[in-house]
Structure 1
Amino acid sequence: MSVISPPSATARLGGPAVVQERPMRYPDASSRGMMTRRGWWLVGLNFLIPGSAQVLAGNRRLGRFGIAATLLMWVLVVVALLFALLAPTAGLSIVTGAWLPDWLGLLRPLPLLIAQGLLIAYAVLWVVLTVDTLRLVRLVKTGGGARFAIALVAVGLMVVASGSAVYASNAVGTVRGTISTIFGASGPTVPPSDGYYNILLLGADSGEGRDSMRFDSISVVSVNAETGATTITGIPRDMPHFPFSEGPMQDQYPNGFEGHGDPSCGWGSGVNQLTNAVEQCREDRGTGLYPDAEAQGSTPAIEATKDAAAGILGIEIPYYVFVDMHGFASLVDALGGVDINVTERLPKGGGPSYPGEPVDDWATGWIEPGQQHMDGDTAQWYARSRYTTSDFDRMSRQRELQEAILAQFTPQVVLTRFQEVAAAGADIIQTDLPQSFIPTLVDLGLKAKEQPVQTLELTPAGGIDEFDPDYAYIADLIQTTLHPPTPTPSGE
């Protein structure tokens, strides 16, 4: 009685011809050399064109889905690069949801949320495809040493590819979180005033020991809406008897700010006393003067300071940016430090405990003259130090530091230190600029990078009497600075 042997694997697959013509799908498993070469090919194809290994040797439906997902991701990347190179403002408008109307402002994070979800999904898909590819390789049929090398390379490539997608997703999430933390989700976008966007820039220290938020640095950034040309005007924090623009504070002080004589509220009529006059010295904490301030992402004291700066300079100031100096060092460190040319020796430390105390008794360190690359702590003391110099000198150093930080905001620095910069910014910056203004802000920032920043200090060095400023002259000076007369053909 004859015994019928079962058909061989080669016969079941259609014979030797099929194995030779389609070795990826129907390999000769008895040949370790062939299985090893096939394994390397499948791993390489899975990395270069995810899904192609499945199309050639496994589940074609899964493979086609992987290839389609890969093509979609590449299309999105190319489109994003084209927008970044050719139309950055339009691209930012799309991804930040700035194109949405104000009544849909809460949906503005949706485009970035979708992008984050797609990247995570693609990372997971790559892991699935890699695991399936290793199954198709059939490592036990490959050469003894090759099986470990193939597995190691496949896992390494998966970590690189999936890890890149996860990192990109995390970066997108950081952008979304930073935007939501710093900028208001909705709010009106105010058109430029006389061709300029004017933004109040405030610096203050909210650290321990402060009983109120007194502004240490007050300036107005005026950006030309067409060219991006930027002028920073520094306002001394002790500037006296200043006027307000039209509003509740002008109604309170029609003849200029008189300050308070109540010791519990602080003395003096300088700008730095506005917080006391509006919040510390009123039972309602200023909500009666500025009832909408909190809803607009501001405070009554900040709104009063806006009206003060607008009254002093004679321009409209719809927005503010507040920088908490208590965490300022982290932003400088995130940018990799700043370069400053120090012109005089400056002490670090909180100052003398009694009048006339020698500097060496209280100084915790010194900032020496010369060109320096400052870390965050040194830069913070450079901006703060005042006990051996005047407030006006400190204003000048703060402006110098602002320009150095702006110069450090290059695409290379931001991209390589993105997470640190974003985290630091979210911790120390607050503003009432709406998210819809972000594309315009970035566009103006790119234009401004190509031009020198013009500075104007309302100090004695700038021709301003510190005890009795001429506010009509200051308003004229600002108008002349922002709108210089057009030269006549004769050059006059």
Structure 2
Amino acid sequence: MTKRAWVLVLLNVVIPGSAQVLAGNRRLGRWGLASTLVFWALAVAALVSALLFRTLLFDIATNTIALTVVQVFLVYYAALWLVLTVDTLRLVRIIRTTPRARGLIAGVMVVLMVATVGPAAYGAYITGVQHGLLNSLFSSKAQVAAPVDGRYNILLLGGDAGADRTGLRPDSISIASIDAETGQTTIIGVPRNLYNSPFVSGSPLYEKYPNGYTCGDDCLVSFLYTYGEEHPDLYPDAEKKGSNAGVEAMRDAIEGVTGLTIQYYALIDMQGFVDLIDALGGITVDVKTRIPINGGVDKAGNPINVDGWIEPGTQKLDGYHALWYARARHGSDDYHRMERQREVQQQVLAQFQPATVLAKFQSVANAGAQTVKTDIPQGALSAFVDLAIKAKGQPVTSLELVPPTYSNLHPDFDAMRAAVKAATVSSATSGP
């Protein structure tokens, strides 16, 4: 009976349902066997897809209907495995095994139940979190935009809505230009203190400012976000498209500055960035100079009344310190600040490793939903995930439209657009 008990325990783990077919309720056993075969077939299909047809997996991971089906099946299988394990425990008849084996058999059954039911239940949980993230962050109704000149151009805005700020102001402005075939990515940085930004023809702001955003000291390109929010009537359909008037005003200006057609935007709340970086376990940066935390400056421009310092050297920064590393301006200028912001962005992307994200998926998903706003539709996610994987194997190039190469006070927009065009030649348009 002891040998029989161990055989049933082994069968329940290796081929769930087989223990019932041999020694118990055969109807339940056949149902368990059929479900196990289906599970194995799907597992093999998922493995083959991961190796040969990754796009299919991306389609499932970014489709709410497919995720619902997966979640329901995982919950069903976890419940079935639990029932089969409990029933197997009944079938082994522990009371008829040797006294020394009874406790061991019961303990092994509990461990194996956790080891088998647990992953399926956790998979169902992760699937549910992913489903919620897709619904909260990405629109299911927005139209998928086609690449322009072989590229996707995404406006990236770092919104600083700290306690010392009135409203949200995009202190970090850049465009991620992605080759639609290869995933090769170029980051184009635009200084927040750029003057005289032109608007694309057809923009409601082009009618008001045909010669560019020229109205004195209050006409920095970063102020356009607030201007748009104060004049929502300029973009009455923005909310329906998953955007807002502030974003659309920025989009029209950045298109005018760079000459690029911007299909989507992503707005990252720098305060929410703290939670995202903490969820990822922090980031590692090479700090070049001392960076002040909070405080102000004296007449000579030196930091005073600071709450602390981020010291030079290789530092592992949590969310709070990473935020100050990116946003501190005292003791440096906007252009060094832009460099630090790019460094933080790149290090956050580097932390998005599968093992890291999976282990902390709930925290990462919650932080992402609170941190990011975008008009990227769910229908575009599969293609973008595929491009992101291609991009990880290539260096990210950059172009900074900043002084001294490009003046922010009297900008030469023709020169800027020419530089952008040269930096974003797509494989689809460059020829053999």
Structure-1-length-normalised TM-score: 0.83
Give per-residue Cα distances to partners, 1:69-127, cap 9 Å, x unaligned: 11111211211122122121233224433xxxxxxxxxxx1110111111111111111
The Cα shift of 1:479 comes to 0.8
Give the aligned residue type for 2:211: N
Assess, with a 3 A threshold, how the Cα gap between structure 1 residues 342 and 209 changes in structure 2: closer, same or farther.
closer
Whether 2:13 is the aligned partner of 1:47: answer yes
CA contact (8 A) 1:403 1:453 kept: no
The Cα shift of 1:297 comes to 1.1
Equivalent residue for 1:438? 381
Give per-residue Cα distances to partners, 1:317-376, cap 9 Å, x unaligned: 020011111011222222222221111111111435x756963x4211111111222222
The Cα shift of 1:202 comes to 0.5
Assess, with a 3 A threshold, how the Cα gap between structure 1 residues 358 and 455 changes in structure 2: closer, same or farther.
closer
CA distance in 2, matches of 1:279, 1:151: 65
Assess, with a 3 A threshold, how the Cα gap between structure 1 residues 167 and 387 changes in structure 2: closer, same or farther.
same
Equivalent residue for 2:204? 248
CA contact (8 A) 2:130 2:365 kept: yes
The Cα shift of 1:408 comes to 2.4
Structure 2's unaligned 5+ residue stretches are: none
The Cα shift of 1:487 comes to 11
Whether 2:268 is the aligned partner of 1:304: answer no
Q: 2:294 aligns with which of 349, 355, 362?
A: 349
The Cα shift of 1:203 comes to 0.6
CA contact (8 A) 1:238 1:270 kept: yes
Assess, with a 3 A threshold, how the Cα gap between structure 1 residues 172 and 239 changes in structure 2: closer, same or farther.
same
Give the aligned residue type for 1:119: L
CA distance in 1, matches of 2:166, 2:328: 20
The Cα shift of 1:473 comes to 1.1
Report sequence identity in percent: 47
Equivalent residue for 2:274? 329
The Cα shift of 1:422 comes to 2.2
Equivalent residue for 2:401? 458
Equivalent residue for 1:271? 221
Superposition pairs of residues 111-130 of structure 1, within 5 angstroms: 111-130=66-85
Aligned pairs, number: 430
Secondary structure at the counterpart of residue 144 of structure 2: coil
Give the aligned residue type for 2:311: E
Give the aligned residue type for 2:276: L
The Cα shift of 1:254 comes to 1.1
Equivalent residue for 2:125? 170
The Cα shift of 1:415 comes to 3.1
Secondary structure at the counterpart of residue 336 of structure 1: coil
The Cα shift of 1:164 comes to 1.0
CA distance in 2, matches of 1:236, 1:225: 26
Equivalent residue for 1:102? none
Structure-2-length-normalised TM-score: 0.94
Structure 1's unaligned 5+ residue stretches are: 1-34, 98-108, 262-266
Give per-residue Cα distances to partners, 1:417-463, cap 9 Å, x unaligned: 333322221221111000011111011111111111111111114x1
Whether 2:166 is the aligned partner of 1:183: answer no
CA distance in 2, matches of 1:152, 1:117: 29
CA distance in 2, matches of 1:467, 1:331: 35
CA distance in 2, matches of 1:51, 1:255: 76
Superposition pairs of residues 76-475 of structure 1, within 5 angstroms: 76-97=42-63, 109-246=64-201, 247-259=203-215, 268-280=218-230, 282=231, 286=232, 288-352=233-297, 359=303, 361-461=304-404, 463-475=405-417
Max radius of gyration: which structure?
1
CA contact (8 A) 2:270 2:371 kept: yes
Assess, with a 3 A threshold, how the Cα gap between structure 1 residues 60 and 424 changes in structure 2: closer, same or farther.
same
CA contact (8 A) 1:243 1:255 kept: yes
CA contact (8 A) 1:51 1:65 kept: yes
CA distance in 2, matches of 1:126, 1:409: 33
CA contact (8 A) 2:186 2:396 kept: yes
CA distance in 2, matches of 1:404, 1:217: 16
Secondary structure at the counterpart of residue 460 of structure 1: coil
| Greater relative contact order, per chain length (Cα 8 Å cut-off, separation 6+) | 2
CA distance in 2, matches of 1:118, 1:484: 42
Cα RMSD, aligned residues only: 2.1
CA distance in 2, matches of 1:315, 1:241: 18
CA distance in 2, matches of 1:79, 1:291: 47
Give the aligned residue type for 2:225: T
Give the aligned residue type for 1:175: Q
Secondary structure at the counterpart of residue 212 of structure 1: coil
